[in-house]
Chain A
């Protein structure tokens, strides 16, 4: 086989870059899991996972795009290769079969790749646990029963209010495409002035419906969190109230 062209070297170089990125992001995830105590917040885990998944996609794209070239390439040691001192590396490079461990992974991956096409739950295969084992009907039903309650409770833990998300507000609300004719007001201005510590802001005009399972019955209980229609911040500051209480002086 002739020497590699510049093009082909570039392709190899690109693959190497992407693999390096993938190893780096995997390494940083492992490091943060090992080292940080308590565990890093789930948002940071989530973002690391999405970085890794992007890396995987780009590696996989690269490999499949250059499949012809990569499957035809053959590695062999040149005459100037220091085979005596770098024997281990040489063996690794010349190896044609996969490492037994890696072979297992690949087999599992292939199995997982073919199975979902047969089952209806292919949308769940992104979950690493379900990748090699399909959820049974009962498990699915359980999941569906569990998820709405859990999601609702998660939702009730948050501050709802305003018409825009924090991201939208940071990016500037003028750019948000709402598709509405009427103009949405950014009613957060007043809330930002209020003390962030309070953390008790409930949504303006929005009810968070609480879903709970009634004890001892299968029915769900819906209730609407009570809230004041408008949040009125005190007009008279605490100092003046205390002064009035002390001396009877009107502010």
Chain B
């Protein structure tokens, strides 16, 4: 699958107005979304590269392909889990100590959030294609549903380790085949210096803004099932350009800087 998108930065004072404009344009009410996003980074498993001797039964071509898969580019990948406002803790002092997790059952939980039943989706995005002639950000993507609950173990088994997590808050619109997501990044209070995902969520109003002025990112995207079909890819980017024209007086949708969306792990 391919994702084609355009981005814009929306200053906070424009947010309310833009929501209304988008609601008018798409003839739908905004769908408020909250997502936990866990960032995982691939790491090279020691020993895989040198295991040539143990694979006599593999054909040479297979071996090369396997090697390429295992030792090729490594990527950052995201695990996304939808949450709701009720999942966040109540306002006021909440015990955020991660080590208290085992005692959750014995004491009343501050919120209804149940980490063990949190659904997750693995979302992979390649670095945007270089040198495309059209002025949209086009990148290979793929997503897969993961088992509920703790994903770190499975991710570790696949060669990814947990890097950091944040929450994305925003509103979603659908305009014909274009999804429009107006969102911003929230950080957990007290930083992210834990090396496992949180099992409890703090109060939503205690979350801190990543961008201190509270600005939003507007992303308009189309997901194309068959990225090799030039015709559909072209149609998709033309639809995005159409939207850009319609929103021109409000925001300027642009192609994102390719390197800022670089998911390759160095």
Query: A234: nearest residue on chain B (CB-CB)?
Result: B215
Q: Which 4 pairs show the lowest CB-CB distances between chains A and B?
A: A234-B215, A248-B164, A228-B13, A248-B39
Distance A235 CA – B166 CA, assembled complex (angstroms): 19
Residues of B within 8 A of A231 (CB): 11, 13
Instruction: State whether A239 and B257 are in contact (beta carbons under 8 Å apart), knowing that A245-B37, A246-B76, A246-B262 are contacts in the complex.
Output: yes
Interface residues of B in 223-266 (CB under 8 A from A): 248-252, 256-257, 259-263, 265
Number of B positions contacting A (CB below 8 A): 41
Q: Is the interface of B mostly helix, strand, loop or mixed?
A: mixed
In the complex, per-residue mask of A181-211: 1 if CB is within 8 Å of any chain B CB, else 0 = 0000000000000010111101000000000
Partner of B210, one of A200, A202, A241: A241
A238→B217 contact, CB < 8 A: yes
Interface residues on A, range: 20 to 34
Instruction: State whether A239 and B256 are in contact (beta carbons under 8 Å apart), knowing that A232-B213, A246-B263 are contacts in the complex.
Output: yes
Residues of A within 8 A of B39 (CB): 246-248
Distance A227 CA – B15 CA, assembled complex (angstroms): 11
Residues of A within 8 A of B256 (CB): 238-239, 242
A246→B210 contact, CB < 8 A: no
Partner of B249, one of A199, A226, A234: A199
A88 within 8 A of B: no
Given contacts A234-B9, A238-B9, 9 further A-B contacts (CB under 8 A): A198-B251, A231-B13, A232-B11, A234-B211, A235-B212, A244-B210, A245-B37, A247-B39, A248-B165
Instruction: State whether A200 and B17 are in contact (beta carbons under 8 Å apart), knowing that A232-B213, A241-B185, A242-B217 are contacts in the complex.
Output: yes
Distance A235 CA – B11 CA, assembled complex (angstroms): 10
B125 within 8 A of A: yes
